[in-house]
Amino acid sequence: MALLTLSGIRVRYGSVEVLHGIDMHVEEGEIVTILGANGAGKSTTLLAVSGLVRPFEGDIRLDGESLLRLKPHQVVGLGVSQSPEGRRVFGSLSVLENLDLGAFLVKDGPKRSKTLEWIFSLFPRLAERKGQLAGTLSGGEQQMLAIGRALMAQPRLLLLDEPSLGLAPLLVRSIFETIRTINASGVTVLLVEQNASAALKLATRGYVLEVGNMVMEAPAKDLLADPAIREAYLGG
Amino acid sequence: MEQFFQQLLNGLAVGGIYALVALGYTMVYGVLKLINFAHGDLFTIGAYLGLTLLISCNIAGMLPPAAAVLAVFVMVGCLVAILGVILERAAYRPLRDAGRLSAVVSALGASIFFQNAIMLIYGARYYVYPDFLRPNFTVHLLGVAVPGVRLLVIGTSVGLMLLLWAFIHRTRIGAAVRAVAIDPDAARLMGINVDAVISLVFLVGPALGGVAGLMVGIYYGQVDFTMGWMYGLKAFTAAILGGIGNIPGAMLGGMLLGLLESLSAAYVAMAWKDAIAFLVLILILIARPTGILGERTAEKL
């Protein structure tokens, strides 16, 4: 059984339908990426999984159990955490407080400190700045914090929304390397990215979303080689 | 000099009460971006409940005065807290997705409801707090005789504020409250139950407000069903003065407003104290539209 299954998801904001019946699945241990232009509905798809937007049709299942009736915090409790678009770190809280909130549902203190150590080993910069207010971090550091914070929940499935947005190329490479390390430690990753070539090099499979429709699904290396995809998302 | 010192302490006592009430406004505003106009009436209810418990339920007759007052403090805090949670469930939660204006109208309605309920239950007259409950010792501070009740009011409000500060800044649940105030959806993604945090805020804020009402009853010795209006307005002003949504700001704003009032009453004229307090509010808001401790740094995108 797939870890995560979306079947026929339709979402609207007000009277505008933005997802017209999305089908996709993520298997345990995979890195799956969703490609698509701005406004294609990539972020909406992730928000629907987390329960922050409600589909009016279709179903989202984790291990075969529907998530649709659950509140967002209950979805986190089942092991699905998200690093949202725009990072959304709590600016007037310290780095450490942000990370600790990521583990809000982890009641076991020693377990929390262990995860924290692991995150500091992934992102040594966060350890250096742990007492600093999150709002004073650079964009790259905030991104690290957003990912680290999502990992503090010790998720089985990590949803990453545009982790490379606005970052310098060197930093993008290091963030993607870290995502690979996170995945190797046993966390399944669903990645939404505009930087298609970097995402496809990392991913096992990819989906292509176009104005609310899933138009393609293929192994990442096939998408990388596909002329139409190269044309549309990889700059020729 | 002695007069100045007395007025200073009086200002701190009144300011402490404003600050306790202001905390309720500012915490609710922080998590819901809503002005809870019924908060001033919860304050009045605290004052009346104290009276009922002390006289009609005869707690004053069963316990020595100090123990009676302490027991009534705890009971009033708990009862008004429960009322606060019911208020949120009944008047605000159903309107959560209906836009902010609807919630404001609902808040005004709840305020009118509470005020009239108190009037119907107790009648539209002044009530006098029993005299023997008022601590009537005096303390000699720097050669000045200070009424003990004044020091007790200051001590209680400062103590409660320190407790609240420690809760918000030193516990994980407190951090969750701050997170919800900054970005509720991001807080949800952390696994925080935002509805539970909102209920918590409607538990703590009204408890502090109710206790403040009780303190006014004991300090001034009389209560009436409209007292929540003026105290609510002053406390709301204090919250704005300090920076609405900011917890230390509400504490600072309350203390400052209390000091301003008592000093201008003493040195300018009694009748001018409100005018001067509001004039200072206007001047501060012209210089700092977000209040003294209001959000200064724009968050990085």
| List of E strands, B113-269 | 127-128, 138-141, 144-147, 222-223
Secondary structure of B99-142 in the HEC alphabet? CHHHHHHHHHHHHHHHHHHHHHHHCCCCEECCHHHCCCCEEEEC
Give Cα B233 to chain centroid, integer Å: 11
A166 vs A169: CA distance, rounded Å: 9
What pLDDT, on a 0 to 100 scale, did the predictor assign at position A107?
Answer: 93
pLDDT confidence bin for A33, thresholds 50/70/90: very high
Q: Is residue A140 part of a domain?
A: no
Closest in A84, A105, A135 to B186, CB measured? A84
| Beta-carbon count within 10 A of A167 CB | 20
Q: Is residue A26 part of a domain?
A: yes
What pLDDT, on a 0 to 100 scale, did the predictor assign at position A143?
Answer: 96
A58 vs A71: CA distance, rounded Å: 17
Is any Cβ of chain A less than 8 angstroms from the Cβ of B173?
no
Close Cβ partners of B146 (under 8 Å, ≥ 6 residues apart):
B6, B9, B138, B139, B140
Q: Do residues A205 and A191 make contact, with C-beta atoms less than 8 angstroms apart? A: no
B99 vs A29: CA distance, rounded Å: 42
Residue B299 reports pLDDT greater than 60: no
Closest in B178, B186, B300 to A135, CB measured? B300
Residue B12 reports pLDDT greater than 80: yes
Give burial (CB, 10 Å; 0-12/13-18/19+) of A29: middle
Residue B144 reports pLDDT greater than 90: no
pLDDT confidence bin for B169, thresholds 50/70/90: very high
Question: For chain B, what are the domain ranges?
Answer: 21-228
The predicted complex's ipTM stands at 0.95
Q: Do residues B225 and B115 make contact, with C-beta atoms less than 8 angstroms apart? A: yes
Closest residue on chain B to A80 (Cα): B189
Residue B301 reports pLDDT greater than 60: no
| Model confidence, pTM | 0.92
What pLDDT, on a 0 to 100 scale, did the predictor assign at position B161?
Answer: 97
Please report, rounded to a whole number, the percentage of residues in chain A having pLDDT higher than 90: 91
Mean pLDDT of chain B: 92
Substitution target from A90, A99, A151 for chain B, most B beta carbons within 10 A: A90
Question: What letter would DSSP give residue B221?
Answer: S
Distances (CA, A) of B203 to B85, B91, B209: 6, 15, 10
Closest in A76, A91, A136 to B189, CB measured? A76
pLDDT in tens, B249-285: 999 999 999 999 999 999 988 899 889 888 988 898 8
Q: Is residue A122 part of a domain?
A: no
Q: Do residues B134 and B68 make contact, with C-beta atoms less than 8 angstroms apart? A: no
What pLDDT, on a 0 to 100 scale, did the predictor assign at position B37?
Answer: 95
Give Cα A84 to chain centroid, integer Å: 7
Distances (CA, A) of A88 to A142, A195, B189, B206: 9, 20, 10, 30
3-class DSSP state of A43: helix
Is any Cβ of chain A less than 8 angstroms from the Cβ of B97?
no
Q: Which residues of A touch B191 (CB under 8 A)?
A: 73, 76-77, 81, 104-105, 153
- Are B191 and A97 within 8 A, CB to CB? no
Q: Which residues of A touch B243 (CB under 8 A)?
A: none
Q: Is residue A21 part of a domain?
A: yes
Q: Is residue A210 part of a domain?
A: yes
B14 vs B91: CA distance, rounded Å: 30
Residue A8 reports pLDDT greater than 70: yes
Secondary structure of B18-61 in the HEC alphabet? HHHHHHHHHHHHHHHCCCCCCHHHHHHHHHHHHHHHHHHCCHHH
What pLDDT, on a 0 to 100 scale, did the predictor assign at position A236?
Answer: 62
Over residues A146-168, the mean pLDDT reads 95
Substitution target from B93, B185, B190, B197 for chain A, most A beta carbons within 10 A: B190
pLDDT in tens, B125-142: 999 988 777 877 888 888
Q: Which residues of B touch A92 (CB under 8 A)?
A: 178, 182, 295, 297
Close Cβ partners of B287 (under 8 Å, ≥ 6 residues apart):
none
B56 vs B36: CA distance, rounded Å: 30
Packing angle of the helix pair B148-170, B194-220 (nearest 10 deg):
170
B47 vs B41: CA distance, rounded Å: 10
Give Cα A143 to chain centroid, integer Å: 12
Q: Is residue A222 part of a domain?
A: yes
Residue A165 reports pLDDT greater than 50: yes
Q: Is residue A158 part of a domain?
A: no
Domain extent for A227: 1-76+192-236
Shortest distance between the Cα of A84 and any Cα of chain B, in A, equals 8
- Are B189 and A100 within 8 A, CB to CB? no
Q: Which residues of B touch A149 (CB under 8 A)?
A: 190
pLDDT confidence bin for B297, thresholds 50/70/90: very low
- Please give the span between the terminal C-alpha atoms of chain B, in angstroms, as a whole number: 53
Domains in chain A: how many in total? 1
A19 vs A49: CA distance, rounded Å: 13
Place of tokens 């316990």: B63
3-class DSSP state of B13: helix
Question: What letter would DSSP give residue B299?
Answer: P
CATH number at residue A37: 3.40.50.300
Q: With the C-alpha atoms ordered B49, B53, B54, B57, is the resulting torsion angle positive or negative?
A: positive
- Are B186 and A52 within 8 A, CB to CB? no
Specify the range with the lowest mean pLDDT, choosing from A160-169, A219-228, B286-295. Answer: B286-295
